[in-house]
Structure 1
Amino acid sequence: MAMDASEIEKLIKTALPDADVEIRDLAGDGDHYAAVVVSAEFKGKTRVQQHQMVYNALQGQMGGQLHALALQTSAPEA
């Protein structure tokens, strides 16, 4: 079962309310997405920690309903 881009965005924004989230469906199949997530909560965190925060926000959907997510994260620039 595929996952809708709006559902991915909702999960991320629930965990990171200040986040600016952009989701693109890469293959048109609802299984392969790219996401750009910008959040002040990423400030001072490594890229790995930032990605872990996003994966945690997806509540275990990675590898299940969501097959692949190309992720780009950053804190907002001052």
Structure 2
Amino acid sequence: MAMAGSDIERLLKGAFPDAHVVVVDLAGDGDHYGARITSAAFAGKSRIQQHKMVYDALQGQMGGALHALALETAVPK
């Protein structure tokens, strides 16, 4: 079962309340998404640490209900 983009956005905003989150369905199939998350929580963290924070925020959905997610993380300027 695919995961809705709105559910991805809800989970990310729950984990990163200050974040600007943009979720895009890349293939139109509800299975392949892109997400850009801009949050102060990423400050001082490596890209790997930032992505792990995002995967943790998705509460185990990655690889299950959420098949593919192209991530872009950033710290606000």
State the TM-score, normalized to the length of structure 1: 0.97
Distance 2:56 2:13 in 1: 12
Residue identity over aligned pairs, in percent, reads 66
Distance 1:48 1:19 in 2: 18
- Name the amino acid aligned to 1:36: R
* Number of the residue aligned with 2:76: 76
Q: Does 1:40 align with 2:40?
A: yes
- Name the amino acid aligned to 2:66: L
Q: Secondary structure at the match of 2:56?
A: helix
Q: Deviations over 1:23-71 (max 9, x none)?
A: 0001111110000000000000000000000000000000000000000
List gaps (5 residues or longer) in structure 1: none
Runs of 4+ in structure 1 over 6 Å off: none
Q: Does 1:53 align with 2:53?
A: yes
Distance 1:31 1:7 in 2: 12
List gaps (5 residues or longer) in structure 2: none
